[in-house]
Amino acid sequence: MKKVVSKNDRYEFQVDVAKNRIYFTPVGDWDSPQDVPNYINDIKKCVGMVSKGYTVLSDITHLGVPAPEVNKLHSDAQEMMRNAGQRKAAIVNKSMTLNVHLDKVYDSVGKDQFEMGTFNNIEDAENWLDT
C-alpha cells in the first residue's frame, strides 16, 4: 500500500514498502531550485523507507520542461538515488521535449548503472517495474 511521504504544489512522493518502490509525481513549471526547497530532503525520506534494489515510478505527464537552473538539482537527486541502490526507474511521459531534457540529466549521472524505461501509461510502467 502506498504511503504519502510528501505533498506540495510542485510534487508528491509516495512509497510502497511492500513493493520496495518510490512514486514521484512532479507538476507544473520548476523555474529554480527555490521552487522546490525540500526536494532533496523529501527524496532522502523516501530512500530511507525502501531497501537496496528499490524501483522508482515517476509520472511526469504534468511537469513542464524544468529551467536549466534546476538540472543540477535533478542530477544530484538521481545520483543520490542511484547510490542508495536504485535498480530500475520507469518514467511515464508523453512529451518528446521533456524526454530530451531527461536524457541529458540521466546521462550526467550514469543511467547505465540502473535500468530505465519510458512509458505512455502507469499500468505499463508498473508491469515493467514488477519484472
User: pLDDT tens-digit profile of 72-125?
Assistant: 898 899 889 999 999 999 999 976 656 655 666 555 555 556 788 989 999 999
pTM for this one? 0.89
* CATH architecture type of domain 2-129: 2-Layer Sandwich (3.30)
What distances in angstroms separate CA 87 from CA 8, 57, 61, 99, one per listed residue? Answer: 27, 11, 22, 20
